[in-house]
Structure 1
Amino acid sequence: MSQTRIPAWITVGVLPAVNILMAFAVSAILFYYLDISPLEAAKIMWEGAFSNSEGIGFTLYYATGFIFTGLAVAIAFHAGLFNIGGEGQAYIGGLGVGLVCLLLGDTLPFALLLPLAIVVGGVFGAAWAFIPAWLQAKRGSHIVITTIMFNFIASALMAYLLVDVFKPAGTMAPESRVFAEAAWLPKMADLLAPLGLELSPSPLNLSFFWALICALLVWLFIWRTRWGYELRSVGANHSASAYAGIRYSRVVMVAMLISGMLAGFFALNVLQGELHQIKLNFVEGFGFTGIAVALMGRNHPIGVILASLLFGFLYQGGAELSFEFGVDRNIVVVLQGLVILFSGALEHMFRPRIEALYLLLARKGEA
C-alpha cells in the first residue's frame, strides 16, 4: 500500500476548483432553461467583470467588502466559533464611521480623519460583538443564536437612528446628510491619475489597500503569534486546550472582538468610499455572504481574498448579465447559492475520487 501523503495543494487548490466548476456546470443548466447560451453568459460575465478598468474597479470594490466580512468569519472559525453576526457588526461599524465623518469631516484633516474612522469603525463593530462573546464565554449561550439576534437589534437600532436622529429636515429618505467632501475616501482612479494611469470611474477606493493589509495582519496573528496559537488550539480541541492551560473564555472574547472589528471595517469601503452618507440597509447581505467566502477560502487570508474575487466577479458579472439579457438580477443569488452548495455542503463529495486519482498517478510515477 502506498504511503504517499495527499499534499495540501490538493485540498486548498484542486478540490475548491473542482467544486466551483461543478457549480458553474449546474448553472449552465439554469441558463439553458432561461434560453440563454451558457457560453455566451459566461463570456458576458467575464467581460463585464474583467475586460475593462471600470468592470475591474466594480469587481474589486465588491471584493473589498467581502474580504472584510470573510476575514471576520474566518477569525471566529479558527476558534471554533460560528459568528453569524457580521451583518449587524458591519452595520454598527458603519454607525461609528458615519459619526466620525458627520461630526469631524469639516474640521479634521484627512490624514487624521482616516485613521480615526478606521479605529472608531473597528471599535463599534467589536463592541457589537462583545455581548454575544461574553454570553458565550461566561454564560454558555450559543454564539449563533445571540449573533443572529444582534443582527435584528442592529437593524432596528439603525432604522430608528436614521428616521428619528440623523435624517435631515425636509426629507423623507431614511438616511443621514452627505458627509463633507473632505471626509470621502479617494477613488482609485483619482489616486492613479497623477501616475499617468487613466482608469474609468468606479467605486473602487483606498479601502481596498486596507483590506489587503488586514488580510496580512490576520495571517500574522493566527500563525505567527502566541494568541493565534491559542485560538487555533481551542478551535481544534477545546478539552485538550483547557488541559494545556489555555483559558477558553479569554480566547472567545479575543476572537469575537477581532471578528467584530474586521466586520466594522466594511463601512469604510461602502460609506466613506462610495455612498458618502449613512443609508438604511447599506450592508446588503455582505455579512452573510462573508460566511461563504470564509468557507470557500478555507479560513485562510489568501483563500479569503481569492474567494472574495470570485464573489466580486459574480456580483459585477451578474449585473452585466442582467443588463444584457434582461433577466432578474437575483440570478446572482442563485449562482452564489450554487457555489456555496458545492463549496460548503458538498465540499467533500469529490474528495475521495480526487485523492484516489492523485495516489494512482503518484504510484505510476514511482514505478
Structure 2
Amino acid sequence: MFTNRMFNILVPVISVLLGLIAGAIIMAAFGYNPLSGYQALWDGSFGDIYYFGETIRQVTPYIFTGLAVAFAFRSGLFNIGAEGQVIVGWLAAVWVGAAFDAPMIIHLPLALLASALAGAIWGFIPGLLKAKLGVHEVIITIMMNYIALHVSNALIRSVLSENQDSSDPIKESASLASNWLMEMTSFSRLHYGILIALFVAVIMWFLLEKTSAGFELRSVGFNQHASQYAGMNVGKNIILAMVISGAFAGLGGAMEGLGTFGYMPTHSAFTNLGFDGIAVALLGGNNAFGVVLAAILFGTLKIGALNMPTAADVPSELVEIVIALIIFFVASSYIIRWVLLRFKKEGK
C-alpha cells in the first residue's frame, strides 16, 4: 500500500511530467518541435554559466514566496497576499538601504529586518481581522495587494525619489550583490540571497516540525475547534501564522531590492512573484524542502523560457501554459492518487 509520504513525492513528480507532456502535445499541435523547444528551455537555464547564475537568481525570491504561502497553508490559512507583502518588503529594504549610512554588518541586516517587518505588518492586518472579526483572509489579502502596489508607487514618486521614476539606488553596504559570484557566473545577477533563502527554509522546517509553537500552528491548521478545546489560543496562532508568512514574503522583496536590482522602480503591474509563490507552495506540498525544489523548477522554466523564441522559434508563453498545466495536475492530485491505487490493486 502506498504511504502518505510516497504520495507526497509521487504526485508532484507525476504532475510535472504530465504538465511537460501536455506542453509538448500543445507545441506539436501548433507546429512547433517539442524537443527543440525543451532543449532551448534547458539551454536557456543551464546551457551557459551566465544562464545558470540567472536561474539561481530567479529561484531565490520564489523560495521566499513559496515558503510564505506554504507556512500559511500549514496553519490552515490562505495567504493570497504574498504579492503585496513582496512589494512592501522591497520598498522597506530599499528605503533603509538608500537612506542610511552604516557598516555592512549593521546596514544589511537592518535592511533585511525592515523588509521582514514590513511584510509582517502587511500580514498582521488580515490575520487580525480573521482572528477578531472572522473576515476571510483571502478577500483581505487580495485587496491589500492592490493597496501595496499603488501606495508604494505613490511613495516612490512623491517621497523617495527625485526623478519621479524610481527610488534612489541602495548603498553598497546594504547590497546583497557579490563580485565573486557575478564573476564566477559571467557577470550574472546572482547574489548572496540564495544562501539566506536556504537558511530560511531550514528555519521554517525547524519551526513547524521541531517546536511547540509549530505544533500549535499545525494543530490550528488541522482543526481550529479541537485546538481551542485543547486550550490553544486559536486567534493568537492565526495572527502569528500570517505575521510569519508575511515576513517570509517581505524578505523575498528584499532579494529583488538589495540583490537583483539595487533599487525599486515604480510598478505598472504586479511582479507576480507572490502569485507564482502559490504555485510553488502547491507543487512543493507545503513542505519547506519541497518548496525549494519547486522553486528550482519554476526558476528554470521562467529563465529558460526567455531562450525559446530565439533558439527554437517557440513562443515563451507556452511555458506559462506548461506551468498552468502542472498546477492543474497538482490541484487534481486526488485523480493521480486514485490511478496509483488502482495500479497497486491490479498489481496484487
TM bracket (short chain): over 0.9
The residue that corresponds to 1:256 in the other structure is 242
Q: Distance in 2 between matches of 1:341 and 1:256?
A: 26
Note if contact 1:70-1:291 (Cα within 8 Å) is conserved in structure 2: yes
Max radius of gyration: which structure? 1
The residue that corresponds to 1:313 in the other structure is 300
Q: How far is 1:53 from its partner? A: 1.7
The residue that corresponds to 1:78 in the other structure is 74
The residue that corresponds to 1:52 in the other structure is 48
Query: Which structure 2 segments of 5+ residues have no match?
Result: none
Q: Distance in 2 between matches of 1:178 and 1:100?
A: 11
AA of the residue aligned to 2:108: L
2:258 to 255, 259, 272: 272
The residue that corresponds to 1:190 in the other structure is 180
Q: After the TM superposition, which residues 1-367 of structure 1 pair with which residues of structure 2 at under 5 Å, given as runs?
A: 5-104=1-100, 107-168=101-162, 171-173=163-165, 175-187=166-178, 190-191=180-181, 198-281=184-267, 284-344=271-331, 346-361=332-347, 363=348
Q: How far is 1:306 from its partner? A: 0.6
Q: How far is 1:268 from its partner? A: 2.4
Q: How far is 1:128 from its partner? A: 1.0
Deviations 1:190-232 (A, max 9, x none): 1486xxxx33221211010000000000000001011110111
Q: Distance in 1 between matches of 2:142 and 2:345?
A: 43
Deviations 1:109-160 (A, max 9, x none): 1111111111111001001111111000001100000001111111110121
Note if contact 2:156-2:164 (Cα within 8 Å) is conserved in structure 1: no
Deviations 1:214-252 (A, max 9, x none): 000000000101111011111111111111111110110
Relative to the length of structure 1, the TM-score reads 0.90
In structure 2, the CA distance between the partners of 1:43 and 1:328, relative to structure 1 (3 Å rule), is closer
Two-structure CA RMSD over aligned residues (Å): 1.7
| SS at 2:160 equivalent | coil
Q: Distance in 1 between matches of 2:139 and 2:123?
A: 13
Note if contact 1:137-1:249 (Cα within 8 Å) is conserved in structure 2: yes
AA of the residue aligned to 2:112: I
Q: Distance in 1 between matches of 2:308 and 2:99?
A: 41
Relative to the length of structure 2, the TM-score reads 0.95
Note if contact 1:61-1:269 (Cα within 8 Å) is conserved in structure 2: no
In structure 2, the CA distance between the partners of 1:93 and 1:358, relative to structure 1 (3 Å rule), is same
Q: How far is 1:9 from its partner? A: 4.2
Q: Distance in 2 between matches of 1:359 and 1:247?
A: 44
Q: Distance in 1 between matches of 2:55 and 2:343?
A: 35
Give the total of aligned pairs: 347
Q: How far is 1:181 from its partner? A: 3.2
In structure 2, the CA distance between the partners of 1:30 and 1:44, relative to structure 1 (3 Å rule), is same
Query: Which structure 1 segments of 5+ residues have no match?
Result: none
Q: How far is 1:34 from its partner? A: 3.3
